[in-house]
Amino acid sequence: MLKRIFYLLALLFLITTGTSFAQQSTQPEMKPAELKDLLRRAGISMKEYKARFKDLTAEEEQRVEEYDSQGKLKKQRRIASDLVIYQSQLDPTLMVEYRDVKSVDGVAIKKREARLVSLLNRSAKADSVKKELDRINRESRRYDLNYSIYGMTLNQGLPLYENLRESFQFKLDGREQVNGHDAIVIEYQQVSHRPDLAFKFSSLPSELKGAGTLFRGRLWLDPETAQLRREVREMTLEHPSLSRPPILMRYDLDYADSRFGFLTPQRIVISTYNHGRTGADKKPELLLGGKVTFEYSAFTRFNVDTPDASLDPPAKP
C-alpha cells in the first residue's frame, strides 16, 4: 500500500547532512516585481532542467530505513545501482528513472546484463506507453522495501510550476551559502487547496475526519541562473483541531555543478511520518516511519562523442 502511495506522489509532483549553509547579513528587501520575475526565471530554469536531463546516467547509492512506532530503526537496506534516465521509445517526450541494480546490501546481482537486455527488448515491443513504462518502473523497484520512492531526480521545485504558482505565497528570506555558493532563499506556503495537490487518505481517526494537506518549504536559488541549489518541501496535515500542523512528508533535495552547465542531483532525502500517536498535550502527532536517501556520483550522458562522457555496458558481477 505504501509503495503505491509514494509512487503516485512522485508521479504527481512529475532531504542532507553533507550540505553546508550559513546565514549571511540581511540583504535589501526585494520588490514584489523583482520577486515575481525571479520566480518566473526559476520556472523557466526548471523546465530547461528536465529537458536537458534526458539520457543522463550516474551511480546511485540508495539507503532505505524503516522505523517502528517507538522511533527505533527496525529494518534497512542498501541498494547500489546505475541510474539511467530512460526516454520512452513510443513517446520521446516522456522520461522515467531506470535503476539497473548492481548490488543489494553488498551482494552482487547475478545475470544483470542479460536481464537488462531482456527488459529493453520487451519494452521495445510494448503496444502502449503505459505498458512500456510500467515494465521499467517495476524492474527499478523490485528490491525496495515498503518505502519506495520514484521520480525525484526528474521533478523539482513543486511551487515553481506555472500552473501551480498562484496557489502559493512567496517571500524573500535573505541569502545563504549552499556548499560554498551564494543563494537567494525563498520561503513559500500553499494558501489555497487544489485537487491536483491534495493527498487522499484511505482512512483517518474520527477526530481528524476531513483533514487535508498543504505544502510549505524553502527554495535556494542561484542569483545568476535562478536554478535550484537546494529545496526543502514539507507536506503538512491540516485540521481545525491541530494548532501545529504535523509534517506528513519531508523532501530535501541538493544539487551540484555538473559538466553540462546546469545543476544535477547530488543528494535526495525523503522522510515519511506515518506513525501516529497522542502527544503530551493530548493532540495527535506523527512520528518518523521511514526514510529513503539517494546519493549520486557525477552524471554523464549517453550517445555523445567525447570518450570521457560515454558509458560502458554493465559489468558482469
* Tens digit of each residue's pLDDT (9 = 90 or more) over 135-150: 888 888 888 888 888 8
Which residue has 550517445 as its cell numbers? 303
Question: CA torsion angle for 193, 195, 201, 204 (degrees, to 10)?
Answer: 40
Percentage of the chain exceeding pLDDT 70? 84
Ranges assigned E (strand) in 179-263: 181-190, 212-221, 228-238, 247-256
Percentage of the chain exceeding pLDDT 90? 49
Gap between the Cα atoms of 270 and 299, Å rounded: 21
| pLDDT for residue 314 | 39
Question: DSSP letter at 234?
Answer: E
pLDDT tens per residue across span 158-181: 999 999 999 999 999 999 999 999
The answer to whether 73 touches 63, Cβ cutoff 8 Å, is no
Can you read off the three cell numbers belonging to residue 121? 527488448
Can you read off the three cell numbers belonging to residue 174? 535573505
Which residue has 551511480 as its cell numbers? 59
pLDDT tens per residue across span 51-70: 888 888 999 999 999 999 88
- Domain chopping of the chain, boundaries: 2-14+20-303
Give the CB-side neighbour count of residue 5, counting CA atoms within 13 A.
Answer: 13
